């Protein structure tokens, strides 16, 4: 083996080792956590205190603040929430209510738990907090009071904000607080669907009605944070919370959560098990940005609602980014470790939906009246829009006809002006022709106005007659001297006549 080959082999191995080391250093562990609700004992944790973008699981925090205000007597579930223009402008998922629409806090909470409506969550924050900043302050104060350490809140709906963080541990603390502090509101987190008018909207939580015992709580998705879920399940009186963050698809998130539930219900929390409070702080200073691995521009945009939720294809880069360190327990299936094993697995079909009616206004009757008024207003607006379009089309046609008419008139005027110089030139030529007689030639003298008359000179070949002056000053008529022709010469005929003709 040559030295050159050995050098190349050594260099190649060193480069490969460097790449693997860099990938390992850059790898991020997707947070997962399994905790027993009653005891707060941790059954499994992976990256549980790492900062992460919460997405719509933020609405669990919004719900806690709202229920806490109800408990304090500051508002009631019948208090009206008003949709502002700012709330109506929030991006989907949303209900699309018009600005000024009102609904009860009870209906608003049901809508954000099932439909995950960003416009309604924003309206809750504005109405209960006075401003979004004011409500966010209340969220942060409440979070610290109930024991959340890593969370920082800036909006009530979880839409992307690089300042808004949480952790799997904090979401477990929040889930336990919701179940503990508001036992009468447990059903709020297990609604399979809502019905608004004729529309039926299923809960985004794909575990409801598909995994035995699951009775809540909330899902969330943004590109920067991936697919998250805080899920609760009850089996034989024992309740477990499972938190999964950063999954590349809703389907894989649901499969991981199901496997973690299987694992958790198979474990018993011994006296040596860690509690949520004992989990060590994270060494990561900021949440990772999952956008390049979750929302690849070459693939369809992932969604987190309804039956259209697609399975993500966890490619090699995404798998390395999400961490190669697998769960240590052999009881957990490979579906919890990577996306490749999850592609061929599915959960059972969903149980039939049982929609809960929601409405706008104070009660269903008022809500129906408001819906009818909105429908009439929309119909009138549509008619006005059609009429405006017809008027605009008519005005456009008339303007086009007028423009064509003006164009023809301009063309005719231009044609007339093009002919006019020819006529003037003809008249000028005619005037010049009238000033010069037709019989005139280039050798004919022309009298010019203002000039003295020219005297005719006799032709140079004509000889003038000789004048003889008589005595007394009177002219005498000159007589022509007749010369006798020479002998033998013939006289020229009409000589005198020729001389007269030349002297005229």
Helix pair 58-71, 105-114: axis angle to 10 deg: 160
The Cα–Cα gap between 395 and 385 comes to: 15
Pairing of strands 355-358, 193-196: parallel
Is 59 annotated as catalytic? yes
- Got the DSSP string for 121-176? HHHHHHHHHSSHHHHHHHHHHHHHHHT--S-B-S-SS----TT-BB-HHHHHHHHH
CB atoms < 10 A from the CB of 242, how many?
29
Among candidates 222, 216, 224, which has minimal Cα distance to 242?
216
Pairing of strands 102-104, 80-82: antiparallel
- Active-site position among 41, 56, 93, 110: 56
The Cα–Cα gap between 381 and 369 comes to: 18
- Active-site position among 59, 94, 115, 218: 59
The Cα–Cα gap between 34 and 46 comes to: 9
Supply the DSSP symbol for 55: G
Helix (H/G/I), strand (E/B), else coil: 20: helix
- Active-site position among 110, 115, 116, 249: 116
**Alpha carbon 163 to chain centroid, angstroms:** 24
Residues in the chain: 504
The residues assigned a catalytic role are 56, 59, 116
């Amino acid at each position: 083996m040559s030295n050159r080959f050995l050098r190349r082999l050594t260099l190649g191995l060193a480069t490969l080792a460097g790449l693997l080391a860099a990938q390992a250093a850059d790898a991020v562990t997707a947070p997962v956590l399994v905790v027993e609700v009653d005891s707060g004992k941790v059954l499994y944790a992976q990256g549980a205190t790492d900062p992460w973008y919460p997405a719509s699981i933020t609405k669990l925090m919004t719900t806690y603040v709202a229920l806490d205000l109800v408990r304090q007597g500051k508002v009631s579930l019948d208090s009206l929430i008003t949709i502002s223009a700012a709330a109506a402008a929030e991006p989907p998922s949303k209900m699309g209510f018009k600005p000024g629409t009102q609904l009860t806090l009870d209906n608003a909470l049901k809508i954000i738990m099932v439909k995950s409506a960003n416009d309604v969550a924003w309206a809750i924050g504005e109405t209960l907090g006075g401003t979004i900043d004011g409500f966010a302050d209340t969220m942060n104060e409440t979070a610290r009071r109930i024991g959340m350490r890593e969370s920082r809140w800036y909006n009530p709906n979880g839409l992307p904000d690089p300042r808004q963080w949480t952790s799997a541990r904090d979401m477990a603390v929040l889930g336990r607080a919701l179940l503990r502090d508001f036992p009468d509101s447990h059903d709020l987190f297990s609604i399979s669907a809502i019905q608004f008018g004729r529309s039926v909207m299923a809960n985004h939580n794909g575990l409801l009605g598909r995994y035995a015992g699951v009775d809540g709580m909330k899902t969330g998705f943004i590109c920067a944070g991936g697919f998250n879920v805080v899920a609760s399940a009850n089996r034989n009186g024992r309740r477990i919370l499972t938190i999964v963050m950063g999954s590349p698809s809703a389907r894989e998130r649901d499969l991981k959560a199901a496997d973690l539930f299987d694992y958790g219900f198979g474990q018993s929390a011994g006296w040596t098990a860690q509690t949520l409070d004992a989990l060590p702080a994270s060494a990561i200073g900021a949440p990772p940005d999952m956008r390049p691995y979750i929302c690849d521009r070459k693939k369809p945009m992932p969604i987190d609602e309804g039956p259209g939720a697609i399975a993500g294809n966890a490619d090699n880069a995404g798998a390395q980014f999400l961490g190669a360190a697998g769960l240590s327990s052999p009881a957990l299936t490979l579906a919890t470790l990577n996306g490749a094993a999850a592609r061929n697995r599915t959960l059972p079909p969903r149980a039939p939906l049982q929609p809960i009616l929601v409405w706008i206004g104070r009660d269903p009757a008022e809500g129906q009246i408001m819906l009818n008024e909105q429908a009439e207003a929309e119909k009138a607006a549509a008619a006005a829009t059609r009429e405006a379009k017809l008027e605009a089309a008519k005005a456009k046609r008339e303007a086009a006809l007028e423009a064509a008419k003006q164009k023809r008139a301009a063309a005719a005027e231009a044609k007339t002006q093009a002919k006019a110089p020819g006529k003037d030139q003809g008249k000028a030529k005619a005037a010049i022709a009238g000033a010069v007689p037709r019989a005139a030639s280039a050798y004919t003298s022309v009298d010019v106005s203002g000039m003295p008359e020219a005297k005719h000179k006799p032709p140079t070949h004509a000889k003038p007659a000789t004048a003889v002056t008589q005595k007394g000053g009177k002219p005498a008529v000159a007589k022509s001297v007749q010369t006798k022709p020479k002998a033998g010469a013939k006289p020229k005929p009409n000589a005198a006549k020729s001389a007269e003709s030349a002297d005229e």
